[in-house]
Amino acid sequence: MISTNYLVIGSGIAGLTFAVKIAEKFPDRKVTIITKSNEDESNTKYAQGGVAIVLDGKDSFTKHVKDTLVAGDGLCDEAVVKMVVKEGPKRLEELLLWGANFDTDASGEFNLGKEGGHSEYRIVHHKDITGYEIERALLKKVHELKNVTLWSHHFAIDLITKHHITDPQAKDNTCYGAYVFDQKKGTIFTIKADSTLLASGGIGKVYGHTTNPVIATGDGIAMAYRAKAKISDMEFIQFHPTALYDARGDQSSFLISEAVRGMGAYLRNKSGYRFMLDYDERAELASRDIVSQSIDSELKKTGDTNVFLDCTHIDIEAFKKHFPNIYKKCKQNHIDVETDWIPVVPASHYLCGGIDVDMDGKTTINNLFACGECTRTGLHGANRLASNSLLEALVYAHNIFKYHSEHTYDTLELNIPEWNDEGTSVPREHVIIQYNLKQLQALMRDYVGIVRSDSRLTKAIKHLDLIADEVEEFYKQAKVSTSLCELRNMINVAHLIINQSIARKENKGGFYKLDNIKENETEAKN
């Protein structure tokens, strides 16, 4: 068993920011970070846009707050929104001190970007790889701190609670660390922690088609759920309408920017019909949620796997100049943009809900904190405003640090049993994991996608229960593997999304259920 003062699960912007701050403040205390892939592999790394922060004289906190509340469609916590927005400039100063670089103009001022839903230019960015740059700076800082240990390729299997412990000192509703799987050695060990922080990212892989990296399997949310933490707003998932379709569905989806439609590209079904005109007078230039819903409707009508983006009428030289990466990616996939249509499909992009936390990042379980995309803070409501996610992670990591600076945690000499896998064996048939994963992803895309209905959601639960039963039986007999634990976590996450979608009785933000339209129409008639 290993003991630490602070256990951080995840190595994105949320986990690393907290680790740097707490390690600098308390050089005599031990900080342990575990991450299941390479140390720099996280959702942060793939955040292209930037960080939304009020810096310009024309801008104001009031405007940023209003934009966030409008995007959240009435479900944001206004106090949280105000707190996060006002903290932005201070948190940016720290990133600059830690060595993160952001684009500036000729006069040395920040080159601020503007994205959908923002009323002013306020996006601080580093080219189109902002998250990658922040991750680089934070990792460099972490490696300079002597009291921080960072273990890559270490997978957290479960949080340790009283459920696992026979020691009478163990209290209800309290986290004491985690059981961790060393993926290279194939061994499982115990990390006992005075305080544990979940900073484990999103859930994109539950849908297969996702802009997230393949590690986004909802592990932190699933672990917290099994430990009986409160989880909310899981029905609010943002989808990007046009990701490059990959028939394998086992890789992160490459985004075909909305700017391509802005340049005049048409969306067509496989018959060549330009269908967006049937759904919205703005056609391909409708908002992201409408375009996603329209594509989803077409796919449900036809049973096709994808629609197409037609750029063949666009000046090819202008296309190459504006979208060199997209042109190159299409070429690699044997698609000539000048003559071929690009196969596209909506992809899971961002989870607005997650583990319930208060303004200090506290979950409903003692000694357990959470930060970043795995949380539901009240900032995003029903729909995240672009580039508010990195800001949220920075602010909440700071709040959790502040809380720990003012509150000490006793180190309990608890007797925690080692992981018990007696009676299990290394499975020969990994096909069971892969088969059930494909079944789960197809189920979520087809039954729990962008446009939902209670009848499809009810059917989804029946199918999901069959998958869950088979996987649980396999889990009891098999020695732990990352792919098996991830699948189990994704099944937990899928249950949460489906049940909370059934419970939601009004359409808000990115959530759209056909039954809610019918109910509202009936109420209006009465």
Residues labelled as active-site residues: 288
Contact assessment for residue 219 and residue 352, using Cβ atoms and an 8 Å cutoff: no
Contact assessment for residue 212 and residue 48, using Cβ atoms and an 8 Å cutoff: no
- What Å distances lie between residue 106 and 52, 149, 165, 193, CA to CA? 21, 40, 61, 48
Which phi and psi (to 5°) does residue 187 adopt? Answer: -115, 160
Answer positive or negative: Cα dihedral of 223, 225, 228, 233.
Answer: positive
Answer positive or negative: Cα dihedral of 447, 304, 250, 256.
Answer: negative
Q: Which of 207, 189, 178 has its CA nearest to residue 450?
A: 207
Query: In sequence order, what are the residues at sequence separation of 6 or more whose Cβ sits closer than 8 angstroms to the Cβ of residue 236?
Result: 351, 352, 353, 380, 381, 382, 383, 508, 509, 510, 511
Query: In sequence order, what are the residues at sequence separation of 6 or more whose Cβ sits closer than 8 angstroms to the Cβ of residue 240?
Result: 211, 253, 255, 288, 292, 346, 347, 349
Tally Cβ neighbours within 10 Å of residue 169: 10
Q: Which of 520, 526, 438, 380 has its CA nearest to residue 209?
A: 438
Helices 389-406, 78-97: crossing angle, 10 deg rounding: 90
